[in-house]
Amino acid sequence: MADVHDLIVLGSGPGGYVAAIRAAQLGLKTAIVERENLGGICLNWGCIPTKALLRSAEVFHNMKHAASFGLKAEKIEADLEAVVKRSRGVAKQLNQGVTHLMKKNKITVYMGTGVLTAPGKMTVTDKDGKKSEVAAKHIIVATGARARDLPFAPADGKRVWTYRHAMVPTELPTDLLVIGSGAIGIEFASFYNDMGAKVIVVEMLDRIVPVEDADVSTFLEKSLTKQGMTILTGAGVEGMKADAKGVTATIKTKDGKKADHKFSHVIVAIGIVPNTEEIGLEQLGVKMDRGIIQVDGMLRTNVPGIWAIGDVTPGPWLAHKASHEGVIAAEAIAQALGNKDVHPHAMDKNNIPGCTYCHPQVASVGLTEAKAKEAGYTVKVGNFPFIGNGKAIALGEAEGFIKTVFDAKTGELLGAHMIGAEVTELIQGYTVGKQAELVEQDFIQTVFPHPTLSEMMHESVLGSQGRALHI
């Protein structure tokens, strides 16, 4: 006999485990199925452990520049094994935290690979091959995604790495090629550059971090180049050969010229592939587009009782987007099961912030200046530099700026774009403003504390009105 639940969540990443917790809070008998580690890729192999690595690199960077703070530090060295060990320890601690949350919320955990066998039914096969039959009126697919390989040079974990290999290196690259300049590529490029590797970044498009505002891309490229990186935009890797000693890559630059370059290691960061194969979706007739599950605003698929969240659904592919979708889906399911006290709302993807934890950090929400103009808006733009902020100067972090884009007619905040120290923390202020539909006067009339980096947010808005006080 199958174990029967109100809801089964397939996958325990930041979307899956949050959906399970919210469903349990709403009184649903909930189960979660996970084939590897509770917390999924983000917690175990993505968002969290990479930030631990980047924190180590940041401290190392500051130690090397101790003299600029009036301090002396000699014979500074990085212990790669210890850096990786710390990162894995952080991931382990949080994995144990998710395990505790499952117990606290009385969520049944099935460790194994889940396959949908019929509407409302699933078979879970554990690592020993033992099968369990589980059933529920509703199932959320939250199986996440994996790194996309180069067709001519699949990652081997030795010389050619994905993000997962790059998080647990046994040796420090000497000459590193990073293919792709999205968040993952740039974060690892920044980490290994700070750790002492010679880094080249190859980006097919005409600028790095291409989803960001063009001004941010330009500023970041200059900053990374100043730090010693080589950035090749409008370029591509047309072939690679790896052996025990390293990798030879054929790079075609924007002028059409091709040349072979030698590297100790290569990181491939060219996107992700949704994990939607071999879990029974095709047999049930779930609609997909190139492996991406199609859903409505409440995360329903076209098959009644089957829902999907996170990286298996259309982007942006971000952990916080997955978590929020998990809450929406759980509440919509509770509502479908008769709970009249929940009122889920579809998410406005334009209000989802994005963060890149390189040095300097990048963060944004909403439309870029170019996208706003393409959409037909007449815009007012404010731009305030870090060099005009007392706290930034005191921190020794006077590199960066905050840019705001407003609708000139209504005063609506259309977008905000930042580069500099701790902007991944600051961006939430503008995200709340967008969600609350605040206008420029709301920000102008808000009192920002002094001395803080957040004052630059105020100054940027003032700047959009020609009223900036400190430049």
What pLDDT does residue 178 have?
98
Identify the weakest region by mean pLDDT among 44-48, 147-151, 280-284, 368-372. 44-48
* Domain end point (choices 251, 270, 289): 270
Q: Which among 270, 304, 324 is the end of a domain?
A: 270
Q: Which residues have a Cβ under 8 Å from the Cβ of 267 and sit 6 or more positions away?
A: 161, 162, 163, 165, 166, 176, 177, 178, 179, 185, 188, 189
Residue 216 has pLDDT above 90, yes or no: yes
Examine the domain organization and report whether 9 and 142 are in the same domain: yes
Q: Exposure of 387 by Cβ count < 10 A (0-12 exposed, 13-18 middle, 19+ buried)?
A: middle
Return the pLDDT at 348.
Answer: 96
Summarize the confidence of residues 340-369 as an average pLDDT.
Answer: 97
Give yes or no: residues 164 and 238 share one domain.
yes
Q: Same structural domain for residues 114 and 176? A: no
In a 10 Å sphere around its CB, with 0-12 CB exposed, 13-18 middle and 19+ buried, how is residue 335 labelled?
middle
Do 366 and 410 belong to one domain? yes
Q: What is the pLDDT of residue 175?
A: 98
pLDDT of residue 195: 95
> Would residue 155 count as lying in a domain?
no
User: Is 289 a domain residue?
Assistant: yes
Mean pLDDT of the chain: 96
pLDDT score recorded for residue 355: 98
279 plus 260 within the same structural domain: no
- Residue 289 belongs to a domain with what CATH number? 3.50.50.60
Residue 344 lies in a domain: no
At 11, the amino acid letter reads: G
Domain-terminating residue out of 321, 336, 351: 336
Per-residue pLDDT, 25: 98
| Distance separating alpha carbons of residues 80 and 86, to the nearest angstrom | 10
Per the domain annotation, does 417 fall within a domain? yes
**Mean pLDDT, range 17-26, rounded to an integer:** 98
Beta bridge partners of 404: 382, 416
Q: Are residues 125 and 7 in the same domain?
A: yes
| Alpha helices, DSSP H, located in 289-421 | 319-336, 369-374, 390-395
Burial (0-12, 13-18, 19+ Cβ within 10 Å), 400: buried
The answer to whether residue 469 is domain-embedded is no
Confidence of residue 42 (pLDDT cuts 50, 70, 90): confident
Res. 1: pLDDT tops 80: no
How many Cα atoms are found within 13 Å in the side-chain-facing hemisphere of 114? 30
323: its two tokens: 């978590």
329 and 416 housed in the same domain? no
Q: Quick one: pLDDT at residue 305?
A: 97
pLDDT at 43: 83
Residues noted as catalytic? 450
Say which CATH number the domain at 389 has. 3.30.390.30
pLDDT digits (tens, 9 = 90+) for 128-137: 999 999 999 9
Q: Examine residue 348 and state whether it is found in any structural domain, yes or no.
A: no
pLDDT tens digits along 426-467:
999 999 999 999 999 999 999 999 999 999 999 999 999 999
DSSP 3-state percent helix, strand, coil across the chain (nearest 5):
35, 30, 40
Residue range of the domain that includes 200: 160-270
In terms of domains, do 321 and 447 share one? no
Same domain, 265 and 288: no
Q: Are residues 51 and 105 in the same domain?
A: yes
Of residues 2 and 174, the one with the higher pLDDT is 174
- Phi/psi of residue 164, each to 5°? -65, -40
Give yes or no: residues 288 and 319 share one domain: yes
- CB atoms under 10 Å from CB of 63, counted, come to 14
Give the DSSP letter string of 114-139: EEEEETTEEEEE-TTS-EEEEEEEEE
227-266 residue pLDDT tens:
999 999 999 999 999 999 999 999 999 999 999 999 999 9
pTM given for the model: 0.95
Domain count, the chain: 3
What is the pLDDT, as a whole number, of residue 180?
A: 97
For the residues 187-211, what does the mean pLDDT come to?
A: 97
At 29, the pLDDT band (50, 70, 90 cuts) reads very high
The predicted pLDDT at position 2 comes to: 81
Q: Is residue 370 part of a domain?
A: yes
Which residues lie closer than 8 Å to 383 by C-beta, 6 or more apart? Answer: 215, 401, 402, 403, 404, 460, 463
Residues 265 and 200 in one domain: yes
Long-range contacts at 286-289 (CB < 8 A, ≥ 24 apart):
none
* Mean of pLDDT values over 21-33: 98
CA dist., res. 321 & res. 47, Å (int) = 13
Distance CA 363, CA 418 (A): 5
**Is 470 domain-assigned?**
no
Distance CA 263, CA 200 (A): 9
DSSP H or E stretch at residue 58: helix 47-64
pLDDT bracket for residue 403 (50, 70, 90): very high
- Cα distances (angstroms) measured from residue 345 to each of 324, 329, 342: 11, 10, 10
**DSSP letter for each residue of 64-85:** HTGGGGT----S----HHHHHH
